Chains A and B, each alone.
Chain A
């Protein structure tokens, strides 16, 4: 008799065990989710940047082969278009210099309009002994003086070795421009914040090469990983005699040159 009618305690016990099972089942569903999310949150910087792009897995650099550069200025043009750099000849993320060493020892250096329209073939009076072109850009220094001096930390080094400017925080004090030994920075006349080459970070994080590298007709610019063996840059660094600009300043540039003369600074 008694069995036929389930008691109140039985019912509540049943409900309790039901709820317990239910909670456990849900936990089994949710907990892995939380764990994964936490894991993702730790690397939030990495996966916000691009689709699966993890800055810490890379280290970018550029090699410049002086003997290959023909001074056409396509890189300068491509850079200005890609990055909305003002067209006026006072603002450059990259430019090309022409060096002409004359027989009397004098060196003529020029870069009219950053060489965006290449160079004019004006012959100097004296005989030219040697002549070559040097593309210049931000050296993406490992010990970047600009990063050191920025009072608000708007200029920073990314884990993949690129120096960037956060325009939202840049106050426009221009200390970084003073601190850069390579003249690679300028103040954007419209945003009034500091600007410089980013290695086309928006392209690189999508697996593309910087615009100047794409545009170069002679492959004078080699872009790639500094450390990974399969990288074209590593090959460039292995196969050539390498120099950097102003090594005595200990800025540790990640832009490497091969084949320039001592006149280049």
Chain B
């Protein structure tokens, strides 16, 4: 308690205008920024994977399994920031066992469980089943055991079984797309349904969340592909990169349009809250919203990808542009989450003042924990890549054997 008081006391001096006295403590901090960022990556990576299966985008085949594993790695981490942020994490099971069915947040447990069990794990299992069996046959010791266990001790690799696998993957993908929409759309709804907060309360919120999620997911898989491929000493598939960049570009255009629509709508309706929101955007959020989210995270990458598409240039230069653009997009989307979550709490609900948010380095809500949570999915991904190599050649070599 002492720590909190010491943290809050100096903030009082930085309040501009009038805020309700209970508002000096900003309740959803960095951890709640990390949460929608991470779930967004899950939904985005999965939707990218679905493009291959549902719409038969063959150029993206090299990233299919990679996207699935990325989605899984991030999904496993997704509930951790929420759990760490609860006042009583030991009671969190109540959200599953005695949920208030009228609460958007209470649905989290079910949406999450559905997405993990019924979608991701199922699709990955059907997708890898044949390979798991084949790998286990050639291996010894622990790896053999792990792969045997992962295949749930199935051994049927007859043409009929494989045909069923393929059908199942397709079916799960078809269920998976709306599920991914649900997963992240619902995160947007948690914010968008708070009528007390004009910065959040918008019917567009779930859709904006969804498209920014797809943007971040595609950019992430692009980055992982561009880092993992040279590390394995392989050549990048330029057609695949170009396709990824194109999809990234298209989805960013949609995302950008939605954000502009939201902006124009707010300014045009010009409701009671417009003055305080204008003060927020031009003041405390100027760097993170105008400079980082809009300029660096949206316009610069859009321009860069457009140039790479329109102009004749060597492949290496193109790769560099894609890489930098995808990196900027990540920073931009993280900033987007920050601007929604923290930005929505920087102004008073009395619409008469602005408050401040200061992160600490240590402590559960601190920078260190959040950075750890952002690194963790990559460690999980490393293990997943080792256990379930998503590379084309590890699949191809087996088919030959």
Q: Name A residues whose Cβ lies closer than 8 Å to a Cβ of B.
A: 86, 88-92, 95, 97, 107, 109-111, 113-114, 136, 145, 148-153, 169-175, 177-187, 189-190, 192-193, 249, 265
Contacts of B196 in A (CB 8 A): 145, 178-181, 249
Secondary structure call for the B interface: loop
Is there a chain A Cβ closer than 8 Å to B106's Cβ?
yes
Closest to A91 in B: B22
What are 9 A-B residue pairs whose CB atoms fall within 8 Å in the complex? A90-B5, A90-B21, A171-B86, A173-B82, A175-B190, A182-B349, A186-B25, A187-B87, A189-B5
- Smallest Cβ-Cβ distance to A189: which chain B residue: B1
For B348, what are the chain A residues with a Cβ–Cβ distance below 8 Å?
Answer: 183
Smallest CB separation, B110 vs chain A (Å): 11
B247 within 8 A of A: no
List A contacts of B197 (CB < 8 A). Answer: 178
Determine which of B18, B20, B27, B352 lies in contact with A174 in the assembled complex, contact meaning CB atoms within 8 Å: B27
State which of A150, A174, A182 has its C-beta within 8 Å of the C-beta of B103: A150
- Chain A residue numbers with a CB within 8 Å of B95 are 151-152, 171
Among candidates B12, B25, B195, residue contacting A145 with C-beta atoms closer than 8 Å = B195
Q: Name which residue of chain B comes closest to A96, CB basis.
A: B21
The 3 closest A-B pairs by CB, nearest first: A172-B87, A183-B20, A192-B87
Q: Cβ of B91 and Cβ of A174 under 8 Å apart?
A: no
B88 to nearest A CB, angstroms?
Answer: 5
Find out whether the CB atom of B25 lies under 8 angstroms from the CB atom of A187: yes
Is B195 within 8 A of A92, CB to CB?
no
Of chain B, the residue at the smallest CB distance from A184 is: B22
Instruction: Give every chain B residue within 8 A of A91 (Cβ-Cβ).
Output: 22
In this complex, the member of A90, A136, A183, A184 whose beta carbon has the largest number of chain B beta carbons within 10 angstroms is A90
Q: Interface size bucket, B side?
A: 35 or more
CB proximity to A under 8 Å, residues B4-57? 4-5, 8, 12, 17-25, 27-28
Contact A183 B104 (CB under 8 A): no
A147 and B105 alpha carbons, distance in the complex (Å): 12
The answer to whether A149 touches B87, judged by C-beta atoms less than 8 angstroms apart, is no
* B12, B91, B196 — most chain A CB neighbours (10 Å): B196
Name the residue among A170, A178, A183, A249 with the largest chain B CB count within 10 angstroms.
Answer: A178
Q: Could you tell me if B86 and A90 are in contact, using CB atoms closer than 8 angstroms? A: no
Residue in chain B with minimal CB distance to A152: B94
Q: Does B194 interact with chain A (Cβ within 8 Å)?
A: yes
Cβ B23 vs Cβ A183 within 8 A: yes
* A151→B100 contact, CB < 8 A: yes
Question: Could you say which residues of chain A place their CB within 8 Å of the CB of B87?
Answer: 170-174, 187, 192-193
- Chain A contacts of B102 at CB under 8 A? 148
Q: How far is the CA of A152 from the CA of B94 in the complex (A)?
A: 6
B394 interface contact, C-beta 8 A: no
The answer to whether B92 has its CB under 8 Å from any CB of chain A is yes
CA distance A137 to B345 in the complex (A): 20
Q: Which of A107, A111, A151, A182 contacts B105 (CB 8 A)?
A: A151
Out of B91, B108, B349, name the residue touching A183 (CB < 8 Å).
B349
Q: Which residues of B contact A170 (CB under 8 A)?
A: 87-88, 91
- Inter-subunit contact A92/B88 (CB<8 Å): no
CB distance from B282 to the nearest CB of A (A): 20
**Docked-complex contact B99 and A151, CB < 8 angstroms:** yes
How distant is the Cα of A89 from the Cα of B4 in the complex, in angstroms? 12
Docked complex Cα distance between A178 and B23 (Å): 10
In Å, the complex CA distance between A5 and B23 comes to 95
> Chain B nearest CB: distance from A117 CB in Å?
13
Task: List, in ascending order, chain A residues with CB within 8 A of B104's CB.
Answer: 149
B229, CB-defined interface residue at 8 Å: no
Q: Which residues of A contact B88 (CB under 8 A)?
A: 170-172, 192-193
| Whole-angstrom distance between the Cβ of B132 and the nearest chain A Cβ | 37
Complex partner residue of A152 from B12, B18, B89, B100, CB under 8 angstroms: B100
A116 to B5, CA, bound (A): 18
Check: B98 CB closer than 8 A to any chain A CB. yes
A134 to B238, CA, bound (A): 66
B24 close to A171 (CB less than 8 A):
no
> Complex formed: what's the CA distance from A95 to B190 in Å?
29
